[in-house]
Amino acid sequence: MTPGTVLSKSQSPSTPEQKELMMKVPYASAIGSIMYAMICTRPDVSFALSVTSRYQRSPGEAHWTAVKNILKYLRNTKDAFLVYGGEEELKVVGYTNANFQTDRDDSKSQAGYFFCLNGGVFSWKSFKEDTTADSTTEAEYIAAAKAAKEAVWIKKFITKLGVVPSINDPISFFCDNTGAIAQAKEPRSHQKTKHIARRYHIIREIVDRGDVMICKVDTDDNIADPLTKPLGKLKNEGHTRSMGIRPMPDWP
């Protein structure tokens, strides 16, 4: 999706003619095809898929245009794949991010996380948060809580495999919001955030028992940024490469 793209339910068909026209469009089928690529090897389309898949019940022309743009992007980058290897340390690292109140219909925030190993991402998710956040800090805190729970599962799974010795250490995952990091580390309520649902405070327990270590990262270096918003071409290409997605000529 290109920067500035805004989708909402208000763009759904409103007249019988528009509805009849859109019934001929293979919207759900296209979404399914994109989902297959995203789940297997293309985390870079996670955000666009998360947004466009919300309108399968009644897609409009703007929604269909966005879907076609995703398909064009995948076609133009069909030689790009996730590549693992190189000289990077065999260590799990995570990134989390949120974009405050991006949904025009219900004002909920978009969030996402990545976990990387050996130079490439292996676990990723872009999603609309269940709760309407009251601030950027709350949105980032909710995203971090979701990522922390995923980190716990990853830690248990890799521990049983016995192939990554560093998994016994806390998994470092990075967030670009200082307030959310403070909330995760401090087991006390702050005046502006004491209303946050208790289920998200599980991150404090996860941090306290040493499963994860939440760290600060500069916004420009947060590779989870593409999971929450459309980016410009150069910035998107940089983050995509950081995910481990490379075109075939660049493979080592």
Judgement on whether residues 62 and 127 belong to the same structural domain of the protein: no
**C-alpha–C-alpha distance, residues 7 and 177, integer Å:** 26
Per the CB < 8 A criterion, the answer to whether 127 and 182 are in contact is no
**C-alpha–C-alpha distance, residues 105 and 128, integer Å:** 12
Q: What is the pLDDT along the chain (252 residues), one digit of tens a residue?
A: 888 899 999 999 999 999 999 999 999 999 999 999 999 899 999 999 999 999 999 999 999 999 999 999 999 999 998 999 866 678 999 999 999 999 999 999 999 999 999 989 999 999 999 999 999 999 999 999 999 999 999 999 999 998 888 889 999 999 999 999 998 987 665 666 677 777 788 899 999 999 999 999 999 999 999 999 999 999 999 999 999 999 887 655
Confidence (pLDDT) at 187: 61
**Residues near 38 by Cβ (< 8 Å), separated by ≥ 6?**
45, 46, 49
**C-alpha–C-alpha distance, residues 189 and 93, integer Å:** 28
Q: Which of 226, 206, 177 is nearest to 38 (CA)?
A: 226
CA distances from 232 to 1, 86, 190 (A): 9, 28, 36
pTM of the full predicted structure?
Answer: 0.92
**C-alpha–C-alpha distance, residues 76 and 15, integer Å:** 35
Judgement on whether residues 228 and 159 belong to the same structural domain of the protein: yes
Judgement on whether residues 30 and 150 belong to the same structural domain of the protein: no
**C-alpha–C-alpha distance, residues 141 and 184, integer Å:** 7
Confidence (pLDDT) at 192: 64
- Give the structural domain span for 91: 83-250
Structural domain includes residue 3:
no
Judgement on whether residues 29 and 110 belong to the same structural domain of the protein: no
Confidence (pLDDT) at 191: 64
Judgement on whether residues 95 and 72 belong to the same structural domain of the protein: no
Q: Helix/strand/coil (H, E, C) string of the chain?
A: CCCCCCCCHHHCCCCHHHHHHHHCCCHHHHHHHHHHHHHHCCHHHHHHHHHHHHHCCCCCHHHHHHHHHHHHHHHHCCCEEECCCCCCCCCCEEEEEEECCCCCCCCCCEEEEEEEECCEEEEEEEEECCCCCCCHHHHHHHHHHHHHHHHHHHHHHHHHHCCCHHHHCCEEEEECCHHHHHHHHCCCCCCCCCCCCHHHHHHHHHHHCCCEEEEECCHHHCCCHHHCCCCCHHHHHHHHHHHCEEEHHHCC
Looking up residue 149, the CATH number of its domain turns out to be: 3.30.420.10
Judgement on whether residues 117 and 182 belong to the same structural domain of the protein: yes
Pair of tokens at residue 4: 């500035």
Q: Count structural domains, the chain.
A: 2
Tell me the pLDDT tens digit for each residue of 119-131. 899 999 999 999 9
Confidence (pLDDT) at 186: 76
Instruction: Evaluate the CA torsion angle 31, 59, 108, 45 in order and state its sign.
Output: positive
- Domain boundary among the residues 36, 53, 78 is at 78
C-beta atoms surrounding 71 within 10 Å: 14
Structural domain includes residue 246:
yes
